């Protein structure tokens, strides 16, 4: 069945994909202009750029979702034109999107064979036995440890990606596009994914790898292309480029101090959790956050970091322990109580638990704050828009107008709208959960700076993140979670990423 991509002399020799002169315009926006993009066979080619630089558009052109205005695509030396995504799949192109698109209620095998199921003995039936067998066989060939009969909804994000890879293999893909594959993976799952990518490369597949995480890109990629404002500003071997150079190409300027300088005076106790337990399973969580302090929280996915935030914010039910803010013991039963006591929670999934996407940005900003801005009984739209515009401009949100729909903004600006929401709430204690996930490097830096400014104003911040570099870049102290309990409370300047990782990942017996 499917082994390796067509045999070849080895990496570097032949060209798997050549896109030349690709231009695409949406109304007034020139999304791509005269883009040339070449992927050598059997290599990993990283595609980087800020949000809105044109990466997704270029990949959608490749996948047949968009038709380019000009330009040509060659696969293995043959000119191609993809009228629709089906044609691109036939030509051996497989996309693995950031938001995986799997049928959650079906089994792994059914997903892998989706749309190409072998006929069963009776007409209109599927040979479930055969698809399970074949999927298992395929998984074994790639050394994937996955149960073909498992339901996708029960799998971790990392396992779902494996299903996507299997799907691609089943469709004879030779070029695999991975869009931000590690953005929602724990470090350990990410490591496993890197192994898979390296293995695929060895077997002669070509991989286009899109990521905001530059560390992993320089580690993994053979070639790197940088897009900026719809143009390729750099393309070449990964051996001759380092992270500062990539950043330089991406933003068009040097980002000398990527993390803001911290010289905040840390004050007295602001927030204190004592032996906090919740019905989501976190137990005996005790820690303190002082005024002006940014406390990081590290841990693998599933370690219970978000659950701690949810317990403090009243989303999950407390089953024990006490919370104290400003010397006052809090009784928090729901987010209503948490907000009125001055706690803010920037959730990890801004689309699911943060924004009302089709509503205006201004409404999103004022949503929890209507009473505080004197609109308990009567909303005054004019004043509301002015308040939103004011808070938006303080953190330089880029929008066409404060009343534009939140869905018209880029990821980084959506995140800023949510930050504006909590700025307006004048919360004393902020919990930010993966605030920089999936946003571009420029916006990341702005968010770090903003958190730093908030700390300078005497607020306390609990910063949950899966990216150790940013935790080390911005925090004063790092809490480490493992198996829903707190296993470390370290001063950032006295510890190392290795120590944090060890605490988060290694069981002690």
Partner 1 sequence: MNKLTRQLLPFGTLVLIIVALSILRPETFLSLDNFLNVLRRTSMPGIIALGMTFVIVSAGIDLSVGSMLAVSGMIGGLVMSKLTGANPAVAAIAASFLTVFAGAVCGLLNGALITKLKLPPFIVTLGTMSAFRGISYVMNDGQPYDMPTYRYLGEGLIPLWKTLEVPVAGQFRPEVDRILMPWQSVDLETVAQGSRIVPHGIPISILIFAVIIVLAGFLLKYSRMGRYTYAIGSNKEAAFHSGINVDLNLIAIYAITGLFVGIAAMIQNSRTVSSQPTAGIALELDVIAAVVIGGASLSGGRGTLTGTVVGILLISFLRNGCTMLGISTNIQLIVIGAIIIAAVSVDQLARSKAESGTGG
Residues of this chain that bind partner 1 (CB under 8 A): 24, 26-27, 29, 31-32, 52, 54, 56-57, 60, 66, 230, 313, 315, 334-336, 338-340, 345, 347, 352-359, 363, 367-368, 370-371, 375-381, 408, 421
Determine contact, residues 68/23, Cβ cutoff 8 Å: yes
Minimum CB separation of residue 373 from partner 1 in Å reads 11
The C-alpha atoms of residue 112 and residue 94 are separated, in whole angstroms, by 13
Minimum CB separation of residue 427 from partner 1 in Å reads 11
Q: Helix crossing, 128-141 with 157-170: angle to 10°?
A: 100
The C-alpha atoms of residue 316 and residue 307 are separated, in whole angstroms, by 8
Minimum CB separation of residue 316 from partner 1 in Å reads 12
Minimum CB separation of residue 352 from partner 1 in Å reads 6
Q: What is the DSSP letter of 464?
A: E
Q: What is the DSSP letter of 352?
A: I
Nearer to partner 1, 121 or 352 (CB): 352
Nearer to partner 1, 73 or 207 (CB): 73
Q: Helix crossing, 381-394 with 411-424: angle to 10°?
A: 110
| Cβ-based burial of 382 (10 A; exposed 0-12, middle 13-18, buried ≥19) | exposed
Exposure on the CB side of residue 295, measured as CA atoms within 13 A: 25
- Whose CA is closest to 132, among 151, 160, 155? 151
Nearer to partner 1, 319 or 353 (CB): 353
Question: Integer distance in angstroms from the first to the last C-alpha of the chain?
Answer: 45
Nearer to partner 1, 114 or 370 (CB): 370
Minimum CB separation of residue 325 from partner 1 in Å reads 16
Question: What is the per-residue burial (b if ≥16 Cβ within 10 Å, else e) of 268-291?
Answer: eebbbbeebbbebebbebebbbbb
- Whose CA is closest to 225, among 39, 14, 441? 39
The C-alpha atoms of residue 235 and residue 226 are separated, in whole angstroms, by 6
Q: 298 pairs with which residues across the strands?
A: 480
Nearer to partner 1, 6 or 334 (CB): 334
- Whose CA is closest to 57, among 27, 80, 30, 77? 30
Q: Taking the CB of residue 431, how many other CB atoms lie within 10 A of it?
A: 28
Minimum CB separation of residue 342 from partner 1 in Å reads 12
Minimum CB separation of residue 212 from partner 1 in Å reads 17
Give Cβ neighbours of residue 503 (< 8 Å, ≥ 6 apart): 480, 482, 487, 488
The C-alpha atoms of residue 270 and residue 459 are separated, in whole angstroms, by 8
Minimum CB separation of residue 103 from partner 1 in Å reads 20
Tokens 């929401």 map to which residue?
421
Minimum CB separation of residue 288 from partner 1 in Å reads 25
Nearer to partner 1, 168 or 419 (CB): 419
Q: Alpha carbon of 160 to those of 154, 165, 235, 348, 369: distances in Å? A: 9, 9, 31, 19, 38
Nearer to partner 1, 135 or 415 (CB): 415
Minimum CB separation of residue 102 from partner 1 in Å reads 21
The alpha carbon of residue 444 and the mean position of all alpha carbons in its chain are separated, in whole angstroms, by 12
Tallying the residues shown for the chain, one arrives at 509
Nearer to partner 1, 222 or 433 (CB): 433
Q: 507 pairs with which residues across the strands?
A: none
The C-alpha atoms of residue 475 and residue 335 are separated, in whole angstroms, by 26
Nearer to partner 1, 326 or 349 (CB): 349
Nearer to partner 1, 169 or 420 (CB): 420
Nearer to partner 1, 149 or 331 (CB): 331
Minimum CB separation of residue 408 from partner 1 in Å reads 6
Nearer to partner 1, 110 or 425 (CB): 425
Minimum CB separation of residue 389 from partner 1 in Å reads 18
């Amino acid at each position: 069945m499917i082994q390796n991509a067509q045999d070849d002399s080895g990496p570097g020799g032949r060209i798997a994909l050549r896109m030349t002169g690709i231009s695409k315009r949406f109304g007034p926006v020139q999304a791509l202009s005269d883009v040339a993009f070449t992927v050598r066979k059997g290599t990993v080619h990283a595609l980087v750029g800020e949000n809105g630089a044109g990466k997704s558009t270029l990949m959608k052109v490749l996948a047949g979702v968009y038709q380019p205005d000009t330009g040509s695509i060659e696969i293995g030396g043959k000119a191609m034109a993809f009228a629709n995504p089906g044609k691109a799949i036939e030509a051996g192109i497989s996309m693995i999107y950031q938001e995986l698109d799997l049928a959650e209620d079906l089994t792994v095998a059914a997903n892998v064979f989706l749309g190409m199921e072998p006929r069963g003995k009776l007409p209109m039936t599927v040979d479930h036995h055969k698809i399970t067998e074949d999927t298992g066989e395929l998984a074994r060939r790639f050394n994937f440890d996955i149960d073909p009969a498992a339901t996708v909804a029960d799998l971790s994000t990392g396992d779902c990606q494996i299903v996507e890879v299997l799907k691609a293999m089943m469709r004879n893909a030779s070029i695999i596009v991975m869009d931000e594959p590690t953005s929602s993976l724990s470090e350990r799952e990410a490591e496993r994914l890197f192994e898979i990518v390296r293995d695929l490369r060895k077997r002669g597949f070509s991989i286009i790898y899109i990521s905001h995480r530059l560390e992993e890109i320089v580690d993994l990629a053979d070639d790197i292309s940088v897009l900026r404002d719809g143009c390729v500003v750099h393309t070449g071997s990964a051996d001759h480029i380092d992270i500062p150079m990539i950043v330089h190409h991406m933003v068009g300027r040097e980002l000398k101090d990527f993390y803001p300088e911290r010289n905040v005076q840390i004050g007295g106790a602001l927030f204190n959790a004592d032996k906090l337990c919740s019905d989501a399973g976190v137990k005996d969580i005790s820690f303190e956050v002082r005024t002006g302090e940014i406390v990081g929280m590290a841990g693998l996915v599933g370690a219970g970091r978000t659950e701690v935030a949810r317990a403090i914010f009243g989303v999950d039910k407390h089953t024990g322990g006490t919370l104290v803010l400003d010397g006052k013991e809090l009784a928090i039963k729901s987010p209503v109580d948490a907000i009125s006591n001055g706690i803010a929670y920037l959730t990890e999934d801004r689309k699911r638990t943060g924004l009302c996407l089709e509503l205006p940005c201004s409404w999103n900003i004022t949503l929890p704050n209507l009473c505080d801005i004197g609109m308990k009984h009567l909303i005054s739209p004019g004043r509301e828009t002015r308040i939103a515009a004011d808070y938006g401009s303080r953190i330089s949100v880029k929008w066409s107008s404060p009343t534009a729909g939140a869905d018209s903004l880029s990821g980084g600006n959506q995140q800023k709208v949510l930050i504006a929401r909590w700025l307006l709430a004048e919360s004393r204690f902020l919990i930010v959960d993966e605030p920089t996930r999936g946003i571009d490097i420029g916006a990341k830096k702005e968010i770090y700076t903003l958190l730093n400014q908030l700390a300078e104003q005497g607020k306390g911040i609990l910063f949950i993140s899966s990216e150790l570099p940013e935790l080390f870049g911005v925090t004063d102290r790092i809490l480490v979670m493992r198996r829903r309990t707190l296993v470390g409370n370290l001063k950032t300047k006295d510890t190392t990423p290795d120590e944090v990782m060890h605490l988060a990942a290694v069981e002690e017996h």
